[in-house]
A and B are shown apart, each in its own frame.
Chain A
Amino acid sequence: MTSKAVQPGFNSSTAGMIDPVSLMRIKSMELRAKVIVEGFWKGIHRSPYHGFSVEFTEYRQYTAGDDPRYIDWRLYARSDRFYIKKFEDETNLRCHLLIDHSRSMRYGSIGYSKAQYAGTLAATLGYFLFTQGDAVGLATFDDQIRNYLPPRNRPNYLRRLMLALEALPDGQATDLGPALQRIAQMLTKRGMIVLISDLLASIDQLESDLGCLCACGHDVVVFNVLDPTELSFDFGSPALFRDIETGRDRYVDPASALADYKRKLTEHLDKVASICRSLGIDYHLFTTDRPFDLALLDFLRGRIHRRKNIRRRGGSIGRMNA
């Protein structure tokens, strides 16, 4: 689990990465995701993290009796050897991308909104998983589930997924509780749930709702996406602020309100991180100026870290059982 709070202007590891502002100028969501993922794969060969996969553990030589369905034909094409992909649960992953389309996600100060960033991030993850043969589904929500695509891995399904992600958000206020409860009811099979949201809502019920998902056996990953201005709150002179979520106006002097604002925001984010940590959920806090490559990398790191913890936990349990 990764719960590292990302500070605005974090760019120590962004050298050589694709600038999100430039990337967002690409109109097609599928093309955008393809650029990120293929760039990521090219870089991965030069990195020490080669061979990573979501649930993929290792390749092993095909032996008689193995199910030929799991032969990696691409690898066979490259190496003229039969290898079998070995998975954690020996089954295909079912991933649900759960994206917040509430009004607050429309805010953006660097040329694009949080919703656009969240959509591109979801497309990147979906493309990445889809190319691995995993089934990817999509659900958008505000105060309830608005759009739902069940997890599939069929030809042309990726395009449908991308078209759904390209749709602009038209939701209302954020309320995580009903959406998460509804998802828990809908998903009968275990899988991975990736929640992408700004989480700018009441989190009183967040622990119980996420806990419900975890209890159902789902592997939950939370991407908390914020605009850099939402962290810094540097607006200079006093102004009339309009809350997108509620539509209310309020006269605010940012200079005088800054300290109080930062304190409350930090408390909120710490509380969210604490809830995720207690439930064993991967929690990633991103600002919308963070390159998508790094976001994907953080995600995979979190998966490796989680797999090691499970193995370690499984080993210790086995020794205890013995």
Chain B
Amino acid sequence: MNFLYPLFLAGIVAIGIPIVLHMVRQKTRKHITFSSLMFVPVAMSRFKNRSRIENILLLLLRCAIIGLLAFAFSRPFFSSPISEKDVRPAKRTVLLIDTSASMRRTGLWAQAVAEAQSVLQQADRADSVCIMSFDQDTRIVMGFEQWDRLESAQRASAGAEQISELSPGWAKTNLGHALVAAAEAIEDDEINDPQQSATARRIVLVSDMQQGSELESLGAYEWPRQTRLVVKSIRPGVTTNAALQLITDRHDLAGTDANDRPRVRVMNSSDAAAEQFQFNWAGGMTAEAPNEPINVYVAPGRSVVVRAPTTANGQPGRRLILTGDDHDFDNTLHVAPSLQQPINILYIGGDDPNDSKEMLFYLRQAFGATGVLAPRVVSHPGDKDIAAAEVAKADLIIATDPVNQQNIATLRRHIESGRALLLVMKTAGAGKMLADFAQIDNVKAEEAEVDGYAMLDRIEFTHPLLVPFSEPGFGDFTQIHFWKYRRIDAADLPGARVLARFDTDDPALLEIPLGKGSLLVLTSGWRRADSQLALSSKFVPLLYSILEFGGFHTRQQLQYFVGDSVPVLRSTAYESANIRIRKPDGSVISLDPAEQTFTQTDQPGIYTIESDTENRFFAVNLSAQECRTSPMPIEEIEGLGVLLDQSGDVHIGKIEKAQHHSNLADMEYEQKLWRRLLTALLAVALFETALAGWLTRSVPAPQGEQT
């Protein structure tokens, strides 16, 4: 017979307690004080009496209760031989291989492959292995199931073959995410295969352990207590590594000086041996456009910001190349050419552009040129025909004067195609034009009688046009006074939605849906005679909001990192379904019309968005984090709760013991002898209770003075 918890047998020692109690009670139970014992005969000696034990049967029953209790707690069972095969523990291993850009450093990848293959060679027949690669994302190269399906002799070679097909990419290192994914893969496999729940778990990490690895995911993850991390750290022979990073500042965005050279940060690794570097535009040393390279001195672990060298033509080049360090993978900085995006604004009205009392004057001021935008305001009288091509080219149309019927038809088609038009009611006569646009008989419009001034009230901040003003700091329109406005009844306009009202409850801004687009109606104007709108801080944002509401999109960023998702914006000019993206290696990827983002930014370089009418560019560079290649202290990972096992031996002795205990527990669970023992214990306890009760009743009550 064996015991699952033999330590509980020590409880049998407690049998001595009732024995002692039965003897002690002889001594202390009854004391009587008497006047004189001169007539009391001398009886047996006290010591002889004390050693006498009364109620032997009761004592035996009590001893039996304690013995049975200790016996039951020790969980006895009848053992059967356990084969060594059952006892022997297996290992569940995840081989995690770093394929980030930093592994492109000289000689690192060959070391990593060799290390990974040696791990596979050491795997036992009973072991279960999963191979995963990671950079920014984590990918399963060979899963547990795939490993288990293979013949044991073929597993290592199949795994090595899969590893040989891997190569380092250009993405950054998200080590935290990879470790969490590996730990969860082990746990998932254990759930699927509960028979081997007692096996050793380990994650073998083959990585350069660079300082730029992201570990944030580990902070929110409770590392499994049974899983140990074995780190196979790969070190390069030479360590100096410098990198370039483009800095974007507000001058670049404003574009005040087109000839400004871009600013570049030069970083040096903390374990660098060299401190002197040079960088220049690619091809800058050609005979046609010679220019001097920039020499920079960067101490190890520090960074320096300098301007890029000038070029012969004054325009920045496409690539900056750094020289002077040991590793080239992060020495090229790609710079996308910066182009101003044109904006065409069609103003229908006969205003003098230089008359500060009219609206066109303020409109031209509002749409000034910036570094990335080049607005162009074109005014056109309303009573003359407007070419359809001119209308189609316009990103924003503002109508202030009455237009003829042909123009209304042209503009209406433009609106129905999904664009927006802002109709400003300068006079009450604009109601006729409004009725023509809305294709209703008449809209009653009249000059409102304003007592002093009117303010905007009840603004629909949830509307896309006014969402930019929904923040508490931007939603105050009370400082804009309207001296005049035209009163119309929104009920006259079918489907009209009032976006803002005056404090007199009359509509101030309305949206009338026409086809796919919208007609926006402003019942006042921004000329000085009508309101203070043109002078308020809300004027320019409101115009740009109307511009974007009409379908105009500012172009996307020019700089991205490897692995970023790039939004592909389809403005009027690029609305064609035939958008193609040419990658730096020359491959072309066609985007479906429904796709709004491009995610295959897997290599650095200049990407070209090709459409039927125009080509746009954006640059993809290495993440700055990935350029921090100095080794990371292993304590950083340990500090986030990861259990390390540098020796690679994951407490095999403990696991063997745990598995053996698990087998014994299964055996005991099948027999459940403790239940019978507890039943016997209850029976003995009942009998003991009955016997003790009977004995207590049969003892006569003592008399005399007792203490």
Contacts and interface: CB of A to CB of B under 8 A. Distances in A.
Interface residues of A, number: 38
A107 B31 contact: no
Interface in A254-272: 256-257, 260-261, 264-265, 268
A258 B33 CA distance: 16
A28 interface: no
A78 interface: no
B39 to A, nearest CB: 4
A265 B40 CA distance: 9
B32 interface: yes
Given A240-B31, A250-B43, A245 B36 contact: yes
A239 B702 contact: yes
A235 B702 contact: yes
Contact of B36 (A235, A239, A244): A244
Contact of A252 (B35, B43, B45, B702): B43
Given A235-B702, A236-B701, A265 B46 contact: no
Given A108-B705, A257-B43, A237 B700 contact: yes
Contacts of B38: 200, 245, 264
B700 A256 contact: no
Contacts of B706: 239
Nearest to A263: B39
Nearest to A200: B36
A104 B45 CA distance: 24
Interface string B667-707: 00000000000000000000000000000000111111110
B700 A261 contact: no
B37 A243 contact: yes
A109 B31 contact: no
A230 interface: yes
User: Which has the most chain A C-beta neighbours within 10 Å: B30, B35, B43?
Assistant: B35
Contacts of A55: none
Contacts of A49: none
A182 interface: no
Contacts of A239: 29-32, 702, 706
Contacts of A268: 39
Contacts of B699: 237
Contacts of A146: none
A253 interface: yes
A236 B706 CA distance: 12
Contacts of A198: 35
A234 interface: yes
A41 interface: no
Nearest to B48: A251
Nearest to B36: A200
What DSSP secondary structure best describes chain B's contact surface?
loop
A248 B49 contact: no
A237 B703 CA distance: 9
B35 A114 contact: yes
Contact of A235 (B37, B44, B704): B704
A260 B39 CA distance: 8
A243 B36 contact: yes
B36 A104 contact: yes
A229 interface: yes
Interface string A69-109: 00000000000000000000000000000000000111111
A245 B43 contact: no
Contact of A241 (B37, B44, B45, B702): B37
Interface in B449-501: none
A61 B39 CA distance: 56
Contact of A261 (B40, B46, B49, B703): B40
B43 A244 contact: no
A257 B41 contact: yes
Contact of A240 (B30, B35, B705): B30
Nearest to A248: B37
Contacts of A308: none
A107 B39 contact: no
A267 to B, nearest CB: 9
A225 to B, nearest CB: 11
Given A104-B35, A240-B31, A252 B703 contact: no
B34 A237 contact: no
B42 interface: yes
Contacts of B34: 107, 241-244
A153 B49 CA distance: 58
User: Which has the most chain B C-beta neighbours within 10 Å: A234, A245, A250?
Assistant: A250
Interface in B40-91: 40-46, 49
B32 A256 contact: no
A227 interface: yes
Given A245-B35, A251-B49, A237 B30 contact: yes
Given A107-B705, A200-B36, A251 B31 contact: no
8 contacts: A109-B705, A200-B35, A237-B702, A241-B34, A242-B31, A250-B43, A251-B46, A253-B43
